[in-house]
Structure 1
Amino acid sequence: MTGDERPYSYVSRAQVSLLIGDTLEQDLRVQQVVDALQHTYEPFFLIPDLARRRGCERDWRELLGDRVICMEDPTDTVDVAAGLVGLCEGAVPDLDALARHLDRQGVDRQGRGRVIRALTPFAATLGRDGVPPPRLEDEHLPTNDANSGHRRPR
């Protein structure tokens, strides 16, 4: 480990031996473990509330990107997790359908809002946030090739 790395950027071979029983030749970079995990699974990290979000979101986003789901209330965990499965498996076509499903399940308006807000960034990566993609192919786009006349100070 070099001096500029965080102490938790490695998985300790001693901890792996103690907790799992496997023997590693050396400590593993956490990024290596996450990369291997993503070959077989759909990993997510759920942050249960906004207070904890401030303390850990950046580090987890470095590892998992949009697969970090920030919730407003830990009581939404089951609905958020089920929504993720539905979105990934295609059982839920978009967030509007998920909101209707949650309504039928008796989730109140505030709870539905929290779940949808938590899932919107990830759903957008799948194109399932309910927002139609822009139709650029039929529109004339300006080229802005003309000189703006702006001059930089020397």
Structure 2
Amino acid sequence: MTPSIRTSLLALTCLACLGVAPGGIRARSQQEEGRPPQDRVLSMFMQAKLDHSKDVLEGLTIGDFEQIVRGAEALRQLAENELWRVNPDITYTRYTEEFIRLTEALEEEGREKNIDGATLNYVNLTINCVNCHKFVRDRRVTFREPETLRR
């Protein structure tokens, strides 16, 4: 296999994993069309959070401290948006407070050009996100009416 074919296959594989292979964007938008408007807005909001997280990760990997700070600031601003408040539960509120604290620490480490500190805060931020999303998924089940849980 020639290097250019190998590179093309690798690029297509990466795009497919990201869901942007030919037809992937159209398929995702078709899935969104059937959802209620508030779910589509929340989905777009969560996609923005993911995009800003990727910006921070890219900044960490290439040592671009300005990109780290911009991404962390954007994440913090999302957490301060009313769309973020999807659950009044105290546990969810604590995850949000921790998220904001970690984005602020990430911004500070970026400004100080401390790659190790920024990386540690990014890892902790990621753990916080995964745990919060797990909590929200688990809570959605308990919010259902008992009849819907029967088989």
Shorter-normalised TM-score: what interval?
A: under 0.3
Normalising by structure 2, we get a TM-score of: 0.24
- Bigger fraction of residues in helix: 2
